[in-house]
Amino acid sequence: MLKWLQRRNAGTDGEVRAAELYDEIVAVARRPDWYVEGGVPDSIDGRFDMVVLALSLLLVRLERDADDARARALSSLLVERFAADMDGSFREIGIGDMVIGKHMGRAMQALGGRLGSYREALAADADAALLSAALARNVLRGEDAAPDWLGARVREEWARCTARPLSEILG
């Protein structure tokens, strides 16, 4: 009965699954190796960039099954979860109600732009230099090129994402 009450208070099955997946995304983004070996700045911006990257990988993966209404719904729920997380994070670092909207707009714009960049860089026929350039611009904030280590690990994460069947992602 306790499980039932927890699930009832947690939201719909889709919301529960989106929360579980978002927790996975954050865990991937917080792996120390991104920051130590990969050169990602261990800062608020660097952590934001890694959450956006990990979320983008899953969203691009879900786009492959865009004809499935459950995949589309889960994508929307994940973006909503990201927005709620960013709102809470901004408030936690002291951004007040008067300017929170502006910061949220920037965060959502960053997600949209980076999602497009990663989608293009991860396409099957994409030049490998596209991913390096996208990582340099979006994660390393202007470096000429991302280190090979970083690009290789992102490709490994992408391979794990694409190998997951939709049924597993949907839970």
In a domain, 45, yes or no: yes
Question: What are 60-109's pLDDT values in tens digits?
Answer: 999 999 999 999 999 999 999 999 999 989 888 888 888 888 989 999 99
Q: Among 7-11, 37-41, 136-140, which is the least confidently predicted range?
A: 7-11
**Total domains present in the chain:** 1
Tell me the C-alpha distance between 130 and 38, whole Å. Answer: 17
Examine residue 7 and state whether it is found in any structural domain, yes or no.
no
Give a yes or no: residue 3 inside a domain.
no
Could you list the residue range(s) of the whole structural domain that residue 79 is in? 14-170
**Percentage of residues in the chain with pLDDT exceeding 90?**
75
Please state the pTM of the whole predicted model: 0.89
Structure letter (DSSP) for residue 42 = S
The pLDDT of residue 146 is above 80: no
Q: What's residue 127's pLDDT?
A: 94
Both tokens of 113, joined, read 């732009």
In a domain, 124, yes or no: yes
CA distance 135 to 150: 8
Average pLDDT over residues 43-51: 95
pLDDT range class, residue 17, cuts 50, 70, 90: very high
In a domain, 8, yes or no: no
- Asked if residue 9 is part of any domain, the answer here is no
Q: Confirm whether 2 is domain-assigned.
A: no
Q: Residues 50-65: what's their mean pLDDT?
A: 97
- Look at residue 46 in the predicted model and tell me its pLDDT: 94
CA distance 128 to 62: 22
Q: Is residue 42 part of a domain?
A: yes
Joined together, the tokens standing for residue 31 give 């792996």
User: What pLDDT, on a 0 to 100 scale, did the predictor assign at position 9?
Assistant: 54
3-state helix, strand, coil in the chain (%, to 5): 75, 0, 25
Terminal CA-to-CA distance of the chain, rounded, Å?
Answer: 21
Q: Single out the residue of 70, 72, 83 nearest to residue 22, CA to CA.
A: 83
Decide: 65 and 166 in contact? Cβ < 8 Å.
yes
When the pLDDT of each residue in the chain is averaged and rounded to a whole number, the result is 90
Q: Output the pLDDT for position 130.
A: 94
